[in-house]
Structure 1
Amino acid sequence: MNRCKEVLQLQLLRYSIIIVGAVLLPNKLLAQKEFYTPKSLLIPLHDQNNQLHISFGRGGGYDFNLSYAFTDKLALFSAATFDNDTKKRISIIGDRYNVDRNDYAIKGGLGYFTKTANPEFPIVEAYIGTGITKVDNYWHFTGDTDGEVTQARYWSVFGQFNAGKRVSKSEYGLGLRLNYSQYTDFNFYGTHINSIARKSSYKNLRGLTADPAISAGYNLYGVNINAQVGVAIPLIAPSVERTDTHTTYEGSTETKTLMISEEKIRLYSFIGKLSLQYKLNFNKKR
């Protein structure tokens, strides 16, 4: 029976890696300015006191997570993601473009974990936390030096519920995160050189998302090779104020025209990560 479960869990890991690979491929069919960049869910599956969980991987940038169970029920966690890379994209009409990124996200918080009598999901976790994210990207069509710059910053608060199982050679988990994000800064503008300069901004952009995810891992020489895939689903999308500033130049004369409108911006994104994870147990398991 245990052998069959391990085979099923290994198959789940393989399928998750395929899906994550599709999410993380350099070419994507979804064209967007990528101003909302939720990171992977924390699913350490703690099961004892004095347990340190370490994770390093790739997903929305280079991702590093730490969580430590300082009692047999409570854990602290921190996470950081840095994305300084060029992503190659394909728009829905087939045009190829690049997104040069200089982003980061930092978050931390507190978690609670316990054991249950459920044989399929014996470990249950709940986390609350907060974080900040900076988005600074420049996108342009392949072969064109002019494009559009997006600069944004937002903070977020979240609550998360996990359930999963760890065995000798593998583990799997399910996670659901409710995430509220509030933008403190959001500007974008074109870099084309002409007689009209355009700059746009959003004021008080915010949103609530539900982020379901699945993870699966396989232990190899004590290291857990883990894949996670999920999606951020917008739950609320209130109208926000958009300001477009058009600046025209005629000789030494500069004229600015403001246009204010209302828009609904939905926060959504794919979530995916491939990582190497390791647990250090400073106490013997009782």
Structure 2
Amino acid sequence: MNRIQGVLKLQQLRCSIFIALVVLLPSKLLAQKEFYTPKSLLIPLHDQKNQLHLSIGRGGGYDFNLSYAFTDKLALFSAATFDNDTKKRISIIGDRYDVDRHDFVIKGGLGYFTKTENAEFPIIEAYVGTGITKIDNYWYFKGDTDGEVTQARYWSVFGQFNAGKRVSESEYGLGLRFTYSQYIDFSFYDTYSASTKSSYKKLRGLTADPAISAGYNLYGVNINAQVGVGIPLIAPSVERTDTHTAYEGTTEIRTVINSEEKIRLYSFIGRLSLQYKLNFNKKR
């Protein structure tokens, strides 16, 4: 029995290391201007009343998650992510570029959890919530002083389902989130020719966000890794407006061109974190 437990622990540790490595890969493989930045899924795996889950991590910025089980079935949660950093990227054709980011995300909601007789996934959770995201980034190719500015804001509502298991030394979980996002504003322009500015109106989309997580307990702290992807389910056409401003003497001349584009909201999801659970009452 001890030998079997040792093999299982080794497999869980290998899974955690693999996920951690994959978390680091999107920054090297994905080339996009990053106007859509879904954050990691909340997978606290609550299993009793008066349980507080704290999580500090790195995933699309520095984040802080908090959830509290105020009954033996219900929990409240909130999360915040701040990203003020320069990301290194490689385009599909191999060109290197940087993205200077000044973004934040705030979200919160309500969750339901229960325990089952399933040996592999004894903890089941369901969450609903809403959030607001602000995007302000500037991307440019290495060695170039000009680039493109993107500024956007969007709100989102989501429903999420989790299944997982916690043991004394480790835990693992699966999550599936459905997110509807609606952009409040979205504008962009390049600094090569700032006389032309563009915007999208009423950009929206529905995504499915599957993710897996695994963690290992060390001195009471869970070292956790999560990896997932945002998959667009609907991508309606949106109106794009390009406004070009020119001057003839002191006279301002504006030319407006309207067109339609189909934009799919997709992104990789990854996070490394330290998690801690505090139980204010012991199980009976």
**Number of the residue aligned with 2:199:** 201
Instruction: Give the Cα separation in 2 of the matches to 1:123 and 1:254.
Output: 64
Q: Secondary structure at the match of 1:84?
A: strand
**Number of the residue aligned with 1:69:** 69
Paired-residue identity, %: 80
Q: CA deviation at 1:247?
A: 1.2
**Number of the residue aligned with 1:263:** 261
Q: Does 1:238 align with 2:241?
A: no
Equivalent of residue 7 in structure 2, options 4, 7, 10: 4
Q: What aligned pairs does 1:141-156 form with structure 2 within 5 A after superposition?
A: 141-156=141-156
Instruction: Give the Cα separation in 1 of the matches to 2:135 and 2:61.
Output: 12
TM normalised by structure 1 equals 0.96
Instruction: Give the Cα separation in 1 of the matches to 2:146 and 2:250.
Output: 24
> What is the CA deviation profile of residues 38-71 of structure 1, one whole-angstrom value per residue up to 9, with x for unaligned ones?
0000000000000000000000000100000000
Q: Secondary structure at the match of 1:255?
A: strand
What one-letter code is carried by the residue in structure 1 that aligns with 2:221? V
**Number of the residue aligned with 1:184:** 184
Instruction: Give the Cα separation in 1 of the matches to 2:218 and 2:12.
Output: 14
What one-letter code is carried by the residue in structure 2 that aligns with 1:13? S
Q: CA deviation at 1:31?
A: 1.9
Q: CA deviation at 1:88?
A: 1.1
* Residue ranges of structure 2 left out of the alignment (5+ in a row): none
> What is the CA deviation profile of residues 183-227 of structure 1, one whole-angstrom value per residue up to 9, with x for unaligned ones?
00000011125xx71100000000000000000000000000000
Q: CA deviation at 1:101?
A: 0.3
Q: CA deviation at 1:4?
A: 2.6
Instruction: Give the Cα separation in 2 of the matches to 1:65 and 1:176.
Output: 18
Instruction: Give the Cα separation in 1 of the matches to 2:121 and 2:67.
Output: 20
**Number of the residue aligned with 2:283:** 285
- Which 4+ runs in 1 deviate beyond 3 A? none
Instruction: Give the Cα separation in 1 of the matches to 2:53 and 2:283.
Output: 15
> What is the CA deviation profile of residues 149-186 of structure 1, one whole-angstrom value per residue up to 9, with x for unaligned ones?
00000000000000000000000000000000000000
**Number of the residue aligned with 2:58:** 58
Instruction: Give the Cα separation in 1 of the matches to 2:210 and 2:240.
Output: 30
Q: Secondary structure at the match of 1:16?
A: helix
What is the RMSD of the two structures over their aligned residues, measured on CA atoms? 1.0
What one-letter code is carried by the residue in structure 2 that aligns with 1:266? R
* Residue ranges of structure 1 left out of the alignment (5+ in a row): none
